[in-house]
Amino acid sequence: MPRVALVTGAAGGIGSAIVERLEADGWLVHGVDVADADLTTPAGNRAVVDAAIARFGQLDAVVANAGFQHVSPIRDFPEEKWDALIALLLTSPFLLAKYAWDALAESGDGRFCAISSVHGIVASPFKSGYTSAKHGVIGLVKTIALEGADVGISASAICPGYVRTPLAEAQVADQARVHGIPPERVEEEVFLAAQPVKRMLEPSEVAGAVAFCLSPAGKGLTGSPLVLDNGWSAR
Ligand SMILES: NC(=O)c1ccc[n+]([C@@H]2O[C@H](COP(=O)([O-])OP(=O)(O)OC[C@H]3O[C@@H](n4cnc5c(N)ncnc54)[C@H](O)[C@@H]3O)[C@@H](O)[C@H]2O)c1
């Protein structure tokens, strides 16, 4: 019997790579993005879980991947951007876990995988909302791991460094402004400054980490982050 996964942010750079990889591995995948439901709302999260179960009759894994970024100093950080970052990056994974809980328990081998970030382990200036939410999601997967242990649910968080996607591209102008440098210097002087290995990840590399977390070999990875950061957090 094929296993069924729900993937959020499926139209994005990393999300579409996750869908492609899981389908290649034999998963049935229900991929959703903002056109299907707004995941900053409880109703949106409920709807995508219900739709996955209605479509395939079961749910064995949830990959909480949808996200966005906002770059600003704290003194200017718009409160509505803070609220939206917490809603999408932290509250949505919580709601997905809550609404999918019974189905994941029924699976007998349920998996929950959140795409956190190296910013779940370390901070960068001008990313207060994103960094706070990504740290929080690591606390969430630890809690899911403890509560899920007796019902066969494993939970992990993947922590990538910079990945070449629209989310990274979209912050070049703001990073240039807050750091006072031209946009063409952002990749080298901001994105890759803290990474010993001077390259951005490709979405397929993050998808490979997700595939491992959801595989039989990844079941023991529960309650802990899988850090894929080109050495960033080793300093
Ligand atoms: N790109 C990076 O450098 C990087 C590094 C570490 C972690 N991440 C994380 O990886 C995940 C995917 O990021 P990406 O780089 O592929 O970004 P992306 O912008 O390419 O894709 C994100 C997707 O989320 C969707 N989304 C946004 N708001 C939504 C909403 N309210 N409801 C439903 N869907 C919504 C977007 O439509 C988009 O398709 C995010 O959680 C991000 O924080 C990215």
CATH of domain 4-163+202-229: 3.40.50.720
> Tokens representing 72?
């600003």
Ligand 1: residues whose CB is within 6 Å? 9, 11-15, 33-34, 38-40, 65-68, 88, 115, 117, 160, 162-163, 165-168
C-alpha 212/C-alpha 218 separation (Å) is: 5
Q: What Rg do the C-alpha atoms of the chain give, in angstroms?
A: 17
Amino acid identity of residue 59, one-letter, is: L
Domain boundary assignment for the chain: 4-163+202-229
Q: Bridge partners of 158?
A: 115, 226
Site to probe by mutation for ligand 1, drawn from 137, 167, 210, 229 as the one with most ligand atoms within 8 Å of Cβ, is 167
Q: Indicate yes or no: pTM above 0.85.
A: yes
Task: Give the distance (Å) from ligand 1 centre to CA of residue 1.
Answer: 30
Nearest ligand 1 atom, CA 87? 31
The pLDDT tens digits for 67-113 are 999 999 999 999 999 999 999 999 999 999 999 999 999 999 999 99
The atom number, within ligand 1, closest to the CA of 162 reads 3
Q: What is the pLDDT of residue 1?
A: 81
Q: Smallest Cα–Cα separation from 21: which of 74, 65, 56? A: 65
- Which residues participate in catalysis according to the annotation? 130
CA 109/CA 219 separation, integer angstroms: 8
Q: What is the rounded average pLDDT of the residues 172-190?
A: 94
Q: What is the pLDDT of residues 15-49, one digit of tens each?
A: 999 999 999 999 999 999 999 999 999 999 999 99
Residue 23 is given by DSSP the state H
Predicted confidence band of residue 182 (pLDDT cuts 50, 70, 90): very high
Calpha distance 107→55 (Å, rounded) = 16
Q: Strands across the sheet with 111-115, in order?
A: 28-32, 4-8, 61-64, 111-115, 154-160, 224-228
- pLDDT score recorded for residue 67: 98
Q: What is the pLDDT of residue 188?
A: 94
Strand ranges in the chain using DSSP code E only, listed in sequence order: 4-8, 28-32, 61-64, 111-115, 154-160, 224-228
Q: Which is the closest atom of ligand 1 to the Cα of 130? A: 43
